[in-house]
Amino acid sequence: MHKIGFLGCGNMARAIIGGILAKGIVAPGEIIASARTQATIDAAHERFGIDVTLDNAEACKASVVFLAVKPQMYESVIAEAAPHFSSETVLVSIAPGKTLAWLSDASGLAKVVRLMPNTPAAVGEGMTSVVIGKGCSAEDADLVLEIVDSFGKSERIPEHLMDAASAAAGCSPAYVYMMIEAMADAAVLEGMPRAQAYRFAAQAVVGAGKMVLESGQHPGALKDAVCSPGGTTIEGVRTLEACGFRSSVTEALIATVDKARSL
């Protein structure tokens, strides 16, 4: 029997599978993924060496089953899958908006888990929020956490914070990529080759993130330390404030929360 199944094998499932296999906590043959199209499952088999199928029922036989389809598909995919689960199946949702109570009702399963991962899981740098349902045993929880921790960091949070966690870590990589793109555009405008500009911008983001995590300093203090008096950086800070940079970021994240609550 497969240890981990994926219903859906798109961007997020592939990021998780890549992270899990890189850490080697399970062998490729212990993972099975289903999708809608032959092209997707062929590509996943070729890239990861995992078992693949167009039949969701096959992936439902795994011990831990990730629901990796869009939230709008959850209802129909769960209805199709439910007869093929066993009472011991641990069902893992990675979608915004779908509560543990909803998942349990829809699937008929007691063992349900909510995760909100992000695509940096693909390089082992994921940040995943975890809510373990009450029907899960300590062993179920350990197994899910072992899987999750193989592709990055994780924190267990109360369920009411899932939308906040989704905004801060699930969606936010998209906005960071946009910022990296914009930073690189400026460097290109000034004559730097494009590939080099991405390296500079991306490493600056990696370094700044690590400073927040490891220095123990407030982000505002770290910002102040970059701004030499009368220097160049403070001119950029002034410009960003005039453009509503911080408010734009906050509003964008709140928009994701509103959307999650509508799903």
Ligand X SMILES: O=C(O)[C@@H]1CCC=N1
Residues that bind ligand X (CB under 6 A): 96, 166, 170-171
Q: Determine whether the annotation assigns residue 10 to a binding site.
A: yes
Q: How far is the CB of 76 from ligand X (least distance, A)?
A: 18
- Which residue, 173 or 236, is less far from ligand NDP as judged by CB? 173
For residues 58-117, which are near ligand NDP according to CB under 6 A? 68-71, 73, 77, 94-96, 116-117
Asked whether residue 118 is marked as a ligand-binding residue, the answer is no
Task: Specify the residue, 71 or 135, whose C-beta has the smaller distance to ligand X.
Answer: 71
Least separation in angstroms between CB 172 and ligand X: 9
Q: Is 9 annotated as a binding residue?
A: yes
Which 114-153 positions form the footprint of ligand NDP (CB under 6 A)? 116-119
The residue number with the shortest CB distance to ligand X is 170
Q: By C-beta, is 72 or 247 nearer to ligand X? A: 72
- On whether 7 is known to bind a ligand per the annotation, the reply is yes
> Which of these segments, 35-43, 151-159, 214-222, 231-239, binds ligand NDP (CB under 6 A)?
35-43
CA 43 to chain centroid: 21
As given in the structure block, the two tokens for residue 135 are 């029907």
The stretch among 31-39, 144-152, 156-164, 251-259 that binds ligand NDP (CB under 6 A) is 31-39
How many residues touch ligand NDP under the rule CB under 6 A: the total is 27
Does 18 bind ligand NDP (CB under 6 A)? Our answer is: no
Nearest residue (CB) to ligand NDP, 104 versus 234:
104
Contact 118, 127 (CB under 8 A): yes
Structure tokens, 213: 């995590």
- CA distances 24 to 3, 150, 203, Å, are 13, 8, 27
The set of residues, in sequence order, having a beta carbon less than 8 Å from that of 50 and lying 6+ positions away, is 17, 21, 28, 29, 31, 32, 33, 44
Q: Which is nearer to ligand X, 59 or 171 (CB)?
A: 171
CB of 161 to ligand X, least distance (A): 15
123 is in an annotated binding site: no
89 near 104, Cβ under 8 Å?
no
For residue 109, the partner it binds in ligand X, ligand NDP, none, with Cβ less than 5 to 8 A by kind, is none
Query: What is the contact surface with ligand NDP in residues (CB under 6 A)?
Result: 7-13, 34-37, 40, 56, 68-71, 73, 77, 94-96, 116-119, 170
- Annotation: binding site: 7-12, 56, 68-71
